[in-house]
Structure 1
């Protein structure tokens, strides 16, 4: 199968969303600082089926 985005015509770069273990910085009041660090790229704990266009973020497929 060859992917092609129906919206922008991209046929080269696509992505899936995944979840990995990482740390999120918080301040001393416990509020999130939105700074993610210590990302462990070798520990993928979630793999999601939809495939998205890397140019316009349109969903283009659900194939594995």
Structure 2
């Protein structure tokens, strides 16, 4: 299926979850936030939230510094 992650179009297998999509971008387990189609997905729902065709996913990681 076609999805856009952080502005880049790509292909993921049907049934890919938010958690699986995040793992394609980062191995970080904390300091990560995800929105699908402009709606924030809570971390507790990542494993049970499946992506669908043409979803827009934004994965944001916290960066320390100043």
TM-score above 0.5: no
Q: In proportion to residue count, which structure has more strand?
A: 1
Tell me: higher relative CO, structure 1 or 2? Use CA pairs within 8 A at least 6 residues apart.
2
Q: In proportion to residue count, which structure has more helix?
A: 2
Larger Rg, first or second structure (1 or 2):
1
